[in-house]
Amino acid sequence: IVTGTTALVSGTTYYATQSVEGCESPTRTAVTATISIVEPPAGEASQTFSLEEGQEISIADIVITAEGSVTWFASEEDAINNTGAIDVNTFTIAIGETVTLYVVQTIGECVSEPFAITVSAVMGLDGFAAGALKVYPNPVKDVLTLSYTSEITSVTVYNLLGQQVLNKNVNQDETQIDLSGLSSGAYMVRVVADDKAAAIKIIKQ
């Protein structure tokens, strides 16, 4: 007997009958269950954008891949309950802000599990190309990856007292910085490329 809480198995045929005043119908209707699982949207779980003064990040700037329609939420609970969806036409992230958003995709009547994306907006200085500097993951546990469209000269890490705690000469367009020896907390990462610089706030877990 299948109850209202029984988990159905895709491809399995179930048979339904009707009972009226204790009398069961003489025939049974066959129903084959087809269960479709929608995967969450794909993308980098941490995305950092280098902006010029006055610029902001919109939902359209966040890079994801999805086959169906997508809906954004400010919390995982909202995403699971499908309440309080973000207005993608008005939502923005300002320079200095780091937020975690949750996105689901809908295909037909099926909705995926939420996918979390942490988005950071940082100030690009002296002509850094907006959006070209990538810093991830943020928050970071051990290794921080940085990439730019041209050669990165150096990367310097400072604590919030302004003290230099790490420096690396890079001379390539992508590098990894080992932060495993640093204490948990917030740090500023200064990236120099083509005689230009950008400062990014990161969180070390």
Pick the closest to residue 141 from 46, 185, 205 (CA basis). Answer: 205
Same domain membership, residue 116 and residue 44? yes
Q: Are residues 78 and 113 in the same domain?
A: yes
Whether 165 and 94 map to the same domain: the answer is: no
Radius of gyration of the chain (CA): 25
| Same domain, yes or no: 6 and 55 | no
pLDDT reported for residue 70: 95
- Which domain CATH number covers 171? 2.60.40.3080
DSSP annotation string for 133-167: -EEE-SSBSSEEEEEEEEEEEEEEEEETTS-EEEE
pLDDT score at 126: 53
Q: What is the pLDDT of residues 1-60, one digit of tens each?
A: 777 788 878 788 888 888 888 788 888 888 888 777 889 999 888 887 877 777 888 998
Query: Residue 46's pLDDT is what?
Result: 81
Nearest CA among 203, 58, 66 for reference residue 135: 203
Classify burial at 22, counting beta carbons within 10 Å of its beta carbon; exposed 0-12, middle 13-18, buried 19 or more: exposed
- Please count the residues of the chain: 205
Q: How far is CA 152 from the centre of its chain?
A: 25
Question: What CATH number has the domain bearing residue 51?
Answer: 2.60.40
pLDDT of residue 16: 86
User: What does pTM read for this prediction?
Assistant: 0.55
The range of the structural domain enclosing residue 109 comes to: 37-125
Structural domain count of the chain? 3
73/106 same-domain check:
yes
CA distance 114 to 105: 8
